[in-house]
């Protein structure tokens, strides 16, 4: 994202801290942004771990998904490679962020969940590796669940959203790629 940012001007910036909350300020209305350029750019930035690039990517994705509506569905095929790249890094922080973004993507607009089904074979292999690697502390307390940073829990939530929003063929495709998955419906 840092390299691509230098090539074309981003339509947003980080304003001064307001009540200690960071957000992006856009130079144009979010709805008027070129979703075919900016949504894949922000998804590509999910691999970033340095501030401000990580923040731009994460917040930009959520802002565009929140306001995108019918502009999101046509861009879905362009988002698969950035999602796959982020998951294949197998970095805990990046995987958690990417899973949360995927969850937001699935519910962001109609038919997006169904549009992702043909791409399960590219997204799910990495998830199958981590699905059952839950943290076992015995009688200890696992605080990552409160922060939504437990990868196994996020994967289970994501798979359930895939099944709910993916239409009639979603479960069959999930079960093929992740045999240990049980239907939530």
Cα(121)–Cα(123) distance, integer angstroms: 6
Encode pLDDT of 99-150 as tens digits.
Answer: 999 999 999 999 999 999 999 999 999 999 888 776 554 444 555 555 567 8
So what's the pLDDT on residue 146?
A: 53
Confidence of residue 94 (pLDDT cuts 50, 70, 90): very high
Q: Which of 142, 118, 125, 119 is nearest to 87 (CA)?
A: 125
Encode pLDDT of 37-65 as tens digits.
Answer: 999 999 999 998 888 788 888 888 999 99
Could you tell me the domains of the chain?
Answer: 2-177 (1.25.40.90)
Assess contact for 137 and 152: CB atoms under 8 A: no
Cα(130)–Cα(159) distance, integer angstroms: 12
Cα(123)–Cα(178) distance, integer angstroms: 11
Cα(105)–Cα(169) distance, integer angstroms: 19
Per the listing, tokens 């856009």 go with 26
């Amino acid at each position: 994202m840092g390299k691509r940012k230098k090539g074309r001007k981003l339509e947003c910036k980080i304003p001064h801290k307001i009540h200690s909350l960071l957000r992006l300020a856009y130079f144009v209305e979010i709805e008027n942004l070129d979703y075919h350029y900016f949504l894949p750019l922000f998804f590509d930035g999910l691999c970033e771990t340095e501030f401000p690039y990580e923040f731009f990517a994460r917040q930009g994705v959520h802002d565009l998904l929140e306001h995108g509506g019918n502009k999101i569905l046509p861009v879905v095929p362009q988002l698969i490679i950035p999602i796959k790249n982020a998951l294949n890094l197998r970095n805990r922080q990046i995987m958690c962020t990417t899973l949360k973004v995927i969850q937001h993507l699935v519910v962001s607009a109609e038919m997006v969940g169904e549009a992702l089904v043909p791409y399960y074979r590219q997204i799910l292999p990495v998830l199958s590796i981590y699905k059952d690697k839950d943290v076992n502390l015995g009688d200890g307390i696992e605080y990552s669940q409160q922060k939504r940073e437990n990868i196994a829990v996020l994967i289970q939530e994501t798979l359930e959203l895939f099944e709910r929003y993916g239409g009639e063929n979603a479960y069959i495709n999930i079960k093929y790629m992740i045999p240990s998955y049980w239907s939530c419906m």
